[in-house]
Structure formats: structure tokens, C-alpha cells
């Protein structure tokens, strides 16, 4: 896999049972790149390790005054330098490729999991943790996956050089063979403590990221209530905890690095001291002493990879654990489906609540519990947070359809939709039937003032479609964001459109026009609107009232206001005391001079609509 081939056509199905298993799965899925990196690493390290032999031959040739052997040593050294340069260049190239492709695979897996789970993801995992996994964690995971092949090449080189020294000069080779395992294993007792400190640092950093994400998301509300200083102090404390944990972790890693410098130095001193004695006794030649000394000195380079792999694993293990936790989440229903891919049509029916939305009609749903309404809206779109009876569309269970087919058939717009940064044209460039033009959708959603505001805030944008939208549409008001999101949903033109409180942040004048535009543009299409707005309810073909999770009344808005006290209480926000006397129409006599609040408000809104 090359970088220019990214993204992967299929990132695969990860082994998310644990962090180490996930790391091993990533390594196995990059076996070709890992073998390539291993081959270049062996060439690089072997070339580096052969330089001492060349130097030893050259020194001995100079001592013996042999021009032929000196020329041979020069040729071997030139060959080793070429191998070193080529191996190092392509090792770096393949290592970076492995790093980036591993990180890209993890990001694709996370993106696919987020798309499959939808809003269920942030209910099971904090949004800040998802951000931490998809940013910093993927780099650390890629680091370990990439470093594993370089470490293997270094380990093979160290073993090969040690065996070669034993054959070349057994007396000094024994000293090197006894010292190198000590160098490689000396840091192992320090690793558990260093790993624990790294885990603590990552945990505190994750909490700080979550706090920062939550604070930024709610900054407007925090400023409104004067709470930004409180959250700023909390983030300062969390940031200081991260700093202290990072310092403690760095101290341990600095100790490990010091050991990696000290012990090789002691081994070099030992080799030189013992080698000088052997040379003085005539047991070894000067060239052999130089060769062994140079070999031990250069072995400190591949030995550094032992420290690197330990650091990479300690940092990547908590990251991999977090990634595996996210990737192990599953939908309450099957994402593959047992039926063939199709886009069914017909009535939308939920057996659990008894809700039925007839095909081609605008159905308004009133539910006293906003959270229950949100969960039901997700169920209607096949995004159920827990297992249960499947919603039927035209008699076909949505849970039995492939996820793509279910989402094509039913589109759910949350009460808090997200606007991605980019131009307005890019925002409205969504999979669609092509039957609804973007400008028609914008007009139906009453976005004229939104377009003017976007053009005014975008330098050089004459066409509103070229106007830029900031991150999450933060420069727009809540009502403006709602209307743009509604326009995006209308452009999609799905078979069934489910809207959860699409006008909760819109004023009455605009809401009246949106109700008219929505009904006109969605004519002949199935539309379900969760709302308690009397104007939207009066525009609906039928109104369904849910109480305690079940349908208790179906009819027109005006009829339900007169006949269903519980419905009237939800729509008009009346208390129980207010609801009791408000059961009659205006008439003569005591206690009969009131009009139900829902009808009175509706009359007022009709007047607003006429003036608009």
C-alpha cells in the first residue's frame, strides 16, 4: 500500500478485543510494507555494522604495509557506504509509509464506526475521547506499528554482529556477547513504572481534551450565564495535572535513556581495556582490536531501537486500548442486513409505540418527553440505541435491510443538527434524488436572511453558494443553523423524512412560512415532524399524540385540543389546574367564557401568517 493509494478501498474488520490484539491486527494487515521495511532495515544496519570490519582491514593493511589489502578495504568501505545510504533512504521512506498508512487505516475505521453508530456513539463514549483517539492516538498507534519492523531489523543485526565477533575474535567476542544482553535487558525493570506513568499522562490528557471539547461546544451558553471563568479554571487545573504527569513520565524516560548511554560506555571501556591487554600479549592483532572496538561502538546505534520500541509500545498501548474500545461498539441492530438492498416505500409503522405515518402525508407527532421523542425519531430511521421490535416501512423491517438502504429510505434530522465548515454549495452537495433544487429547498426553509448574512461575512462571495460557513456554523444564530439544516434535508428528498423539532429556535413569523413551504415541497412524500408548535401541528395531515411511550390519540390538531386534555397540556404548556376548566368553547354562562389556549394561539399565528 502506497500513500497515493489512500484511502483504503476497505480498511477491514479490526480485532478490537484488546489494545495489543488491535496493534497485532494492524501489523498483520501491513505485512507487505513491514517486510519491505525489514529488508531495507537489514541492508542499512548490515552496512553500518560492516564498516568496523572495513576499518580493521584497512588498519591492519597499513600496519602490514599491504597496498592490495588497503585498496580492498577502501572498496569494501565504499560499498558499505553506498549500502548505508541506499538502505537508510528507503528504510525511512518505507517506515514513513507504514506509519501514515497505519494511521490512515485507524482513522478510516473510526470514521466508518462513527458513520455506522451515528448519534449512538457519543452516548456511549465521550465526544472528547473520540476526538483524542482520532487525532493524537492514531499517530502513536502508527508509530509502534512502523517501529516494529525497524526494531526487528536492528535485533537481527545485533545478533548477527555478536555471532560474527565470536567467530572473528573469540576472546573479545565473548565479552561482547556477555555484555549486549545486559544492555538490551537492563531497562526492562524500569519499563513497567514508565508505562504506568505514561498511562496516567494519557488518561489525564484525555480528560483535559474532553473538558476542552465540552467547554468549546457550550461556550455560547457559558458566556450567557457567566460560567466561562469557572470552566476555564477547571481546564487550567486539568492542564496542570497533565503537565505534572508528563514531567513525571519524562523523568522515567530520561532515566532509561541515561542507562542506554551509560551501559554501552562501560562495555566499550571493558572491551578496550581487555583488548589492549590481549594485544600487548600478542594474542590479537591491532586491526582486530580496532574492528571489535568499532563494532561495539556502532552497535549502540541499533541498540537505541530497543529503547524506541519500548517507548512506542508504552505510548501506543493506551491509545490502542482507547481505539479498540470505540471500534468494539456495535449497533443494536445488524448493519449488514438479511435482506437484499432495496429502498422500500409505503407506510412507516412502529410496532412498539403504535405510531403510523401514512405514505405521502405529513404526520406530526407530539410527545411530552423530548428525550423519548428523540429516541423514537432515531428508531424510525433505523438508528435504535437498543434492541427492540424493528420499525416497518411498507411492511419491510428496517433492521433487516443493509444500513445504507435503510438510511437512503429514511432520513432523520436531529434537533441539534451539525453544519460542517465549507461553502454553502458544499453543505448542500449531499446524496439526493435530484427532484429538489438547492434554491427551492432554501426558499422553503426561509433562508433568505441567512444567505444575506453569509454573503456579507464572506469576502469576494457574490454567489450565496460560494459563501463560507464557519465551523459548526458558529457565526450563525440557532434559528439560522436550523433552517440551513432543514434545507439540506429537503435537498436530499428521501422517501421518508423525520424532523425532530425543526423550528424550535425560529420566530413565529418565520415558522409560519416554513410550515407552508415544508408542506408544499414535501407534497406526496412521507414526512414525520416531532413538534409541539401549534402552527406546524395545524398544517399536518394528521397528528399523533404519544403518552408514556404509546399512541393514545390520533386526529387533527384542533380536534385534539378540544377533546384530549393531556394533548392540550403539552401543546399549550398548561398546568393541571389550568387544564381542568379549559374544556369548553366560548359560550354564555359562568365558567364557559374561555377558548382552549391552543386554538387561541393558532388564531393569533394565523393573523401573523396573513400579515407576513
Phi, psi of 546 (to 5 degrees): -105, 135
Average pLDDT over residues 103-118: 86
What is the band of 587 on the pLDDT scale with cuts at 50, 70, 90? very low
Q: Residue 588 is placed in which grid cell?
A: 354564555
Residue-level pLDDT at 26: 92
Confidence of residue 222 (pLDDT cuts 50, 70, 90): low
pLDDT of residue 267: 85
The pLDDT assigned to 215 comes to 66
Smallest CA-to-CA distance from 364 within 225, 542, 217, 498 is with 542
| DSSP secondary structure code for residue 269 in this structure | H
At what angle are helices 138-168 and 286-327 packed, to 10 degrees? Answer: 150
When pLDDT is cut at 50, 70 and 90, the band that residue 364 belongs to is: very high
- Confirm if 529 and 362 have CB atoms less than 8 A apart: yes
Instruction: Give the three-state DSSP class for 527.
Output: strand
Region 467-491 average pLDDT: 85
Report d(CA 393, CA 558) in Å as an integer: 28
Q: Span 353-380, mean pLDDT?
A: 89
pLDDT exceeds cutoff 70 at 30? yes
Q: What is the pLDDT of residue 333?
A: 63
- Model-level pTM? 0.70
pLDDT computed for residue 211 by the predictor: 75
Residue 588 — pLDDT band, cuts 50, 70, 90?
Answer: very low
Sign of CA dihedral 541, 547, 553, 556: negative
138: closest CA among 35, 37, 14? 14
What is the three-class DSSP state of 397?
A: strand
- Is residue 382 within 8 Å of 408, Cβ to Cβ? no
CA distances, 331 to each of 18, 118, 191, 340 (Å)? 19, 9, 38, 19
> What does the alpha-carbon distance between residue 162 and residue 299 come to, in Å, rounded to a whole number?
9
- The pLDDT tens digits of the residues spanning 111-158 come to 888 887 776 776 777 666 677 787 778 888 999 999 999 999 999 988
Q: What is the mean pLDDT of the chain?
A: 82
pLDDT score recorded for residue 600: 52
User: Is residue 575 pLDDT above 70, yes or no?
Assistant: no
Residue 530 has pLDDT above 90, yes or no: yes
Cell of residue 585, nine digits? 368553547
Q: Which helix (H) or strand (E) is 599 found in, with range?
A: helix 597-611
CA 411 and chain centroid, separation:
22
Say how far apart CA 293 and CA 55 lie, in whole Å.
11
C-alpha cell at 510: 418565520
Would you call 410 helix, strand, or coil by DSSP? strand
pLDDT tens digit sequence for 387-418: 778 889 988 888 888 878 888 889 998 888 88
Nearest CA to 307 out of 122, 147, 429, 468 is that of 147
Tens digits of residue pLDDT in 198-208: 878 877 887 78
Confidence at residue 217, expressed as pLDDT on a 0 to 100 scale: 64
Round to whole Å and give the CA distance between 416 and 533: 17
**Residues 225-244 pLDDT 10s:** 666 677 778 888 888 999 99
Q: Are 451 and 464 in contact (CB under 8 A)?
A: yes
Distance CA 349, CA 339 (A): 18
Which pLDDT does position 595 carry in this prediction?
40
Determine the pLDDT at residue 596: 46
pLDDT band at 85 (very low <50, low <70, confident <90, very high): very high
Residues 177-201 as b/e (b if ≥16 CB within 10 A, e otherwise) read eebbeebbeebeeebeebbebbbbb
Range of lowest pLDDT (57-61, 212-216, 468-472): 212-216
Q: Where are the alpha helices (DSSP H) in 530-581?
A: 534-539, 557-563, 565-572, 576-579
C-alpha cell of residue 384: 435504535
Position 601 pLDDT exceeds 60: no
Q: Is 432 helix (H, G, I), strand (E, B) or coil?
A: coil
The CA distances from residue 349 to 82, 223, 345, 398, 551, in Å, are 73, 43, 12, 10, 12
Of 15-29, 330-344, 530-544, the poorest mean pLDDT is in: 330-344
104: which residues sit within 8 A by CB, 6+ positions away? 6, 7, 8
The cell for 423 is 461553502
C-alpha cell at 329: 461498539
- Backbone region of residue 575 per phi and psi (left: phi > 0; alpha: psi in -120 to 50; beta: other values): beta
C-alpha cell at 192: 513497567
Asked if the model's pLDDT at residue 593 lies above 50, the reply is no
| pLDDT value of position 277 | 86
Averaged pLDDT, 415-431: 85
- Identify the band that residue 469 occupies on the pLDDT scale cut at 50, 70 and 90: confident
CA dist 342 and 349 (Å) reads: 18
Q: What is the mean pLDDT of residues 176-192?
A: 82
pLDDT tens per residue across span 283-321:
888 777 877 878 888 877 888 888 788 888 878 888 898
Distance spanning both ends of the chain, measured CA to CA: 60
Q: How many degrees, rounded to 5, is the angle at CA 100 between CA 96 and CA 105?
A: 145
Q: Residue 269 pLDDT more than 50?
A: yes
pLDDT of residue 22: 93
DSSP string for 317-362: HHHHHHHHHHHT---SS-SS-SSPS----S-EEETTTTEEE-TTSE
> Which is more confident, 398 or 222?
398
Residues ≥6 apart with Cβ < 8 Å to 284:
169, 171, 172, 275, 278
The H-or-E segment that residue 529 falls in is strand 526-530
Q: Compute the Cα dihedral for 137, 138, 141, 146 and give only its sign.
A: negative
Return phi, psi of residue 523, to 5°: -60, 130
Higher pLDDT, 439 or 382: 439
**Between 302 and 567, the higher pLDDT residue:** 567
Using CA atoms, how far apart are residues 330 and 116, in angstroms rounded to an integer? 9
CB atoms under 10 Å from CB of 386, counted, come to 9
Amino acid at each position: 500500500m502506497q500513500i497515493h493509494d489512500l484511502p483504503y478501498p476497505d480498511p477491514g474488520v479490526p480485532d478490537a478485543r484488546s489494545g495489543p490484539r488491535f496493534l497485532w491486527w494492524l501489523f498483520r494487515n501491513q505485512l507487505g510494507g513491514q517486510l519491505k521495511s525489514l529488508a531495507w532495515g537489514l541492508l542499512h544496519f548490515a552496512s553500518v555494522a560492516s564498516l568496523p570490519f572495513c576499518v580493521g582491514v584497512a588498519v591492519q593493511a597499513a600496519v602490514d604495509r599491504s597496498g592490495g589489502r588497503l585498496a580492498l578495504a577502501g572498496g569494501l568501505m565504499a560499498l558499505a557506504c553506498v549500502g548505508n545510504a541506499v538502505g537508510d533512504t528507503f528504510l525511512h521512506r518505507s517506515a514513513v509509509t507504514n506509519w501514515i498508512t497505519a494511521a490512515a487505516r485507524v482513522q478510516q475505521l473510526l470514521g466508518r464506526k462513527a458513520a455506522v453508530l451515528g448519534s449512538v456513539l457519543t452516548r456511549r463514549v465521550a465526544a472528547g475521547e473520540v476526538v483524542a483517539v482520532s487525532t493524537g492516538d492514531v499517530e502513536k498507534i502508527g508509530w509502534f506499528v512502523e517501529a516494529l519492523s525497524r526494531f526487528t531489523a536492528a535485533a537481527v543485526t545485533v545478533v548477527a554482529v555478536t555471532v560474527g565477533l565470536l567467530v572473528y575474535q573469540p576472546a573479545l567476542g565473548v565479552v561482547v556477547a556477555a555484555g549486549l544482553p545486559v544492555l538490551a535487558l537492563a531497562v526492562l525493570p524500569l519499563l513497567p513504572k514508565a508505562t504506568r506513568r505514561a498511562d496516567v499522562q494519557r488518561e489525564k490528557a484525555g480528560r483535559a481534551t474532553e473538558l476542552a471539547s465540552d467547554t468549546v461546544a457550550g461556550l455560547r451558553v457559558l458566556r450567557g450565564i457567566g460560567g466561562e471563568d469557572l470552566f476555564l479554571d477547571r481546564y487550567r487545573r486539568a492542564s496542570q495535572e497533565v503537565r505534572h504527569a508528563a514531567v513525571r513520565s519524562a523523568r522515567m524516560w530520561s532515566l532509561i535513556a541515561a542507562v542506554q548511554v551509560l551501559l554501552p560506555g562501560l562495555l566499550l571501556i571493558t572491551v578496550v581495556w581487555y583488548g589492549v591487554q590481549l594485544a600487548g600479549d600478542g594474542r590479537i592483532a591491532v586491526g582486530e582490536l580496532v574492528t571489535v572496538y568499532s563494532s561495539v561502538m556502532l552497535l549502540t546505534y541499533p541498540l537505541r531501537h530497543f529503547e524506541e520500541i519500548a517507548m512506542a509500545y508504552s505510548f501506543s498501548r493506551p491509545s490502542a486500548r482507547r481505539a479498540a474500545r470505540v471500534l468494539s461498539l456495535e449497533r443494536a441492530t445488524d448493519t449488514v442486513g438479511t435482506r437484499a438492498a432495496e429502498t422500500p416505500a409505503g407506510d412507516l409503522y412502529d410496532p412498539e409505540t403504535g405510531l403510523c405515518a401514512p405514505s405521502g402525508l405529513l404526520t406530526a407527532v407530539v410527545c411530552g418527553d423530548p428525550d423519548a421523542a428523540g429516541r423514537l425519531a432515531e428508531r424510525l430511521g433505523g438508528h435504535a440505541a437498543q434492541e427492540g421490535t424493528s420499525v416497518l416501512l411498507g411492511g419491510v423491517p428496517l433492521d433487516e435491510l443493509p444500513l445504507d438502504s435503510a438510511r437512503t429510505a429514511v432520513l432523520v434530522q436531529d434537533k441539534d443538527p451539525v453544519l460542517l465548515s465549507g461553502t454553502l454549495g458544499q453543505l448542500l452537495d449531499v446524496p439526493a434524488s435530484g427532484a429538489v433544487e438547492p434554491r427551492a429547498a432554501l426558499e422553503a426553509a426561509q433562508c433568505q436572511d441567512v444567505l444575506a448574512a453569509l454573503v456579507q461575512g464572506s469576502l469576494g462571495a457574490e454567489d450565496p453558494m460560494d459563501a463560507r460557513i464557519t465551523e459548526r456554523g458558529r457565526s450563525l444564530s440557532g434559528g439560522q443553523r436550523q433552517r440551513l439544516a432543514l434545507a439540506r434535508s429537503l435537498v436530499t428528498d428521501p422517501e421518508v423524512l423525520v424532523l425532530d423539532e425543526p423550528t424550535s429556535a425560529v420566530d413565529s413569523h418565520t415558522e409560519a412560512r416554513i410550515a407552508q413551504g415544508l408542506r408544499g415541497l414535501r407534497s406526496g412524500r412521507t414526512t414525520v415532524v416531532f413538534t409541539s408548535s401549534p402552527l406546524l401541528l395545524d398544517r399536518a395531515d394528521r397528528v399523533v399524540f404519544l403518552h408514556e411511550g404509546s399512541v393514545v390519540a390520533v386526529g387533527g390538531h384542533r380536534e385534539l385540543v378540544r377533546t384530549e386534555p393531556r394533548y392540550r397540556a403539552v401543546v399549550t404548556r398548561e398546568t393541571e389546574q389550568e387544564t381542568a376548566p379549559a374544556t369548553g368553547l366560548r359560550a354564555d354562562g359562568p365558567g364557559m367564557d374561555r377558548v382552549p389556549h391552543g386554538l387561541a394561539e393558532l388564531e393569533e399565528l394565523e393573523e401573523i401568517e396573513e400579515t407576513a
